[in-house]
Amino acid sequence: MPRLLLLTPPFTQLNTPYPATAYLTGYLQSKSDTVFQADLGIETFLTLFSRLGLVRLFEAIDLSGTRNRTSDPVIERALSLRERYLDTIDPVIRFLQGSDPSWATQICRRRFLPEGPRFLKLDDDHWAFGSLGLTDRAKHLASLYLDDLADLIQATVDPRFGLSRYAERLATSAASFDPLDQALQEPPGLIDRMLEEVLDRQMKTVKPHLVGITVPFPGNLYGALRSAAFIRRRYPGVKIALGGGYVNTELRELSEPRLFDFVDYVTLDAGERPLLSLLECFDAPEKGRLCRTFLRRNGKVLYINTASEQELSFAESGTPTYRGLPLRKYLSLVEMLNPMHRLWSDGRWNKLTVAHGCYWKKCAFCDIGLDYIQRYEPAPAALLADRIEAMIEETGETGFHFVDEAAPPSRLADLALELLDRGRAISWWGNIRFEEAFTPDLCRLLAASGCIAVTGGMEVASDRLLALMEKGITVAQVARVAHAFTEGGIMVHAYLMYGFPTETTEETIESLERVRQLFEAGILHSAFWHRFTATRHSPVGLNPGAYGIEITGPVPGRFANNDLTHIDPSGCDPERFGPGLAKAIYNYMHGVGFDADVRSFFDSPLPKPKVSPNLITTALAAAPSFRDDLERRVVWLGGVPSMGSPLFLPGWGEDRTIRIEPSIAEWLQSLLKESRPRGRKGAAYLKLAEAAQRYPAKSKKSFGTFIKSREWKAAREAGLLLI
């Protein structure tokens, strides 16, 4: 079979590999041993952010004449400190890679690193350093140092540069290919040349016949096509395929032939089948059975999907593998003190999915018709746990990020029980829906299995708008679910949206007031506002009239077609809200600003919110009492209980002693022993109804009376869950 090289272009994440090539490699290596993967992003970054790389950067700045054309004191100061940057860059990178932790003390002294504009905000962040340890503080300072250098690069030799988004504007809403084509015709700049050097080494090592490049985000497209252009020029016999998240959402109506000056194929949706088809018919693709693939023939773009096989099941897709990626070279950054942002940028996380697609798939703003959301298939818990163990064995890392659209509660429960059954200790986090299936008991179970944080789409904190977008939740429901996670010791982050169709000024400011109350109640720890954008594949984009808006553009082009512009006659202009909403969230995450009127974060006059100041506390107080549902499974998180007077329960959090009559004590001890998730090997858990049937008939208390007693409550507090 031909040799295949899978590439992630710059720049996506610096702390952990983006998972696309790991998924594809895991499957395709089961078919052939001639599949390889590389992350051009981390390798290009390390080429640039090194002593030699900075020497080249400063030489490029001198040659470009930037210094002569500007009187910017920031640039002048950075150039005057070049020797300090050259002396410190390698130690900083080694420290952030975790290979030389002794640099933490030196960095924190604030005399070692040259400090540019990014350090000016430290006075505002002093609050965190009382709780951050020495290493974390050093990571934050080192991250600001790298951001200063990135700003210098952007201001001098490459205005498109970004550590996580490279030339993103060229690919955002790019109905025309012209801007990208023009940029790609320009001679390669400093970053491009470094990328080409890294790519050249990979090509010489692997000697591939086919190169697959994933484009997960707009900020990867320029780097992907610059890589493809280099391969075309230097290795003309190698075929090139393009795929990934950006392609799947933006290029579904592709008809731009110029793209195929750079690549040979563009594949849609899950990449396993298309790539395998390309490999199988490599010598004569026109005669083969291609799967969901665009190509150019006789100057025209054709879409070919002659393969009839079903999509791969979870069992068929194989375990993702990071084999071949330089895992020890990735960096742990702390650019922002947002606790959730730290999970995205600090530490290395193995990536897995609990289920393919979304089990809800109704939200009006979401591209619910596309394969990656529409086709829902959950993974069996045992299979998922097997993959977790295999990835730990391969990487030596026990941190996992479940990258689902929204992980289903029932499957998370099964996975948690499987992990506890195996005694497998991991840390994990992922995305959820704020639905009341996440009971306090389920949240405690997830925490026991290693869950440290969840992210969820609260979107608009308005019940009217939540109903309009068919989110399936209410503000009160979000409060109760967030409270359940928080009580379980799990951090909660909310994705927030403003500018949804028909959203009024009053609703925007009232949404902020509700969010303020969630933070003040201590049940929301992190959040981020983003502005609504209509897309072609969402219910809003497909039926804008139903949401009271009119689509105004862009005119469909030959290249990317997804983001839409619109007029909202009945809503407000969201333009003026972004900065104020961001400022408010920044304050709330710092634990300040709760006493301020929410309108004080905005520059223009706004109406006073008509929201009860006790809305969230009332919602929590009115939470439905937890029913001891007879159909729920009984799970005991604590240790082995010991008989005696009283009965001793070694709890999950706190121990409890219970004084009850001997017959009930024997029944409860037996129930708890049988309900421990340890070494069960697939044995079913008792349901509470089955436990009730075993309840001692001669007891002085009936079963119904006992499960309302303080003794039963004590057992529940110690770790007796109903799942």
- Residue where one domain finishes, among candidates 315, 334, 362: 315
Residue 206 reports pLDDT greater than 80? yes
Checking if the pLDDT of 413 tops 60, the result is yes
- DSSP character for 237? T
Residue 324 lies in a domain: no
In a domain? residue 74: yes
| CA–CA dist 556, 149 (Å, integer) | 39
Burial pattern 480-499, b for ≥16 Cβ within 10 A else e, equals bbbbbbbebebbbbbebbbb
Q: Are residues 110 and 236 in the same domain?
A: yes
pLDDT digits (tens, 9 = 90+) for 501-554: 999 999 999 999 999 999 999 999 999 999 999 999 999 999 999 999 999 988
Residue 580: exposure state from Cβ atoms within 10 A (0-12, 13-18, ≥19) = buried
DSSP 379: P
Predicted pLDDT at 624: 67
pLDDT above 70 for 570: yes
Q: Which of 296, 315, 334 is the last residue of a domain?
A: 315
Q: Assess whether 268 and 387 both reside in one domain.
A: no
Q: How many CB atoms lie within 10 A of CB 131?
A: 9
Between 112 and 70, the more confident residue is: 112
What is the structure's pLDDT at 187?
A: 94
Considering the domain architecture, whether residues 264 and 385 belong to the same structural domain is answered as no
Residues paired with 457 in a beta bridge: 495
Residue 657 main-chain phi, psi, to 5 deg: -120, 140
C-alpha distances out from residue 241 to 58, 207, 229, 314, 594, Å: 36, 16, 12, 24, 52
Tell me: do 644 and 584 sit in the same domain: no
- Looking at residue 132, its pLDDT comes to 59
Q: Do the domain assignments include residue 332? A: no
Q: What is the domain extent for residue 473?
A: 349-621
Q: Are 670 and 690 in contact (CB under 8 A)?
A: no
pLDDT recorded at residue 453: 97
CATH number at residue 520: 3.80.30.20
Q: Are 13 and 162 in contact (CB under 8 A)?
A: no
| Same domain for 608 and 567 | yes
- pTM for the predicted model, two decimal places: 0.94
Per-position DSSP letters for 20-44, written without gaps between them: HHHHHHHHHTTT-S-EEEEEHHHHH
Burial readout 20-59 (b: 16 or more C-beta within 10 A, e: otherwise): bbbbbbbbbbeeeebbbbbbbbbbbbbbbbeeebbebbbe
Q: What is the arithmetic mean of pLDDT over 60-74?
A: 74
The pLDDT tens digits of the residues spanning 586-607 come to 999 888 999 999 999 999 999 9
561 within a domain of the structure (yes/no) = yes
Domain boundary among 315, 339, 372: 315
Residue 11, domain member (yes or no): yes
pLDDT tens column, 346-362: 889 999 999 999 999 99
Same domain, 460 and 498: yes
Q: Are residue 113 and residue 226 in the same domain, yes or no?
A: yes
Domain assignment present for 339: no
> Does residue 68 register a pLDDT over 60?
no
Both 114 and 33 in a single domain? Answer: yes
User: In the β-sheet with 350-352, what is the strand arrangement from edge to edge?
Assistant: 350-352, 399-402, 427-432, 451-459, 491-498, 526-531
Domain count, the chain: 3
Same domain as 369, residue 287? no
Say yes or no to pLDDT of 67 above 80. Answer: no
Pairing of strands 239-243, 265-267: parallel
Mean confidence (pLDDT) of the chain: 92
Does 291 lie in the same domain as 165? yes
Predicted confidence at residue 249, as pLDDT, reads 93
Instruction: Output the DSSP codes for 657-674.
Output: EE---HHHHHHHHHHHHH
In a domain, 255, yes or no: yes
Clarify whether residues 584 and 646 are in a common domain.
no
pLDDT band (50, 70, 90) for residue 171: confident
pLDDT of residue 573: 86
566 falls within a domain:
yes
- Specify whether 181 is located in the same domain as 220: yes
pLDDT at position 158 = 93
Query: Residue range 93-120: average pLDDT?
Result: 94
The span from the CA of 71 to the CA of 80, in Å, is 13
Distance of CA 487 to the CA centre of its chain: 23
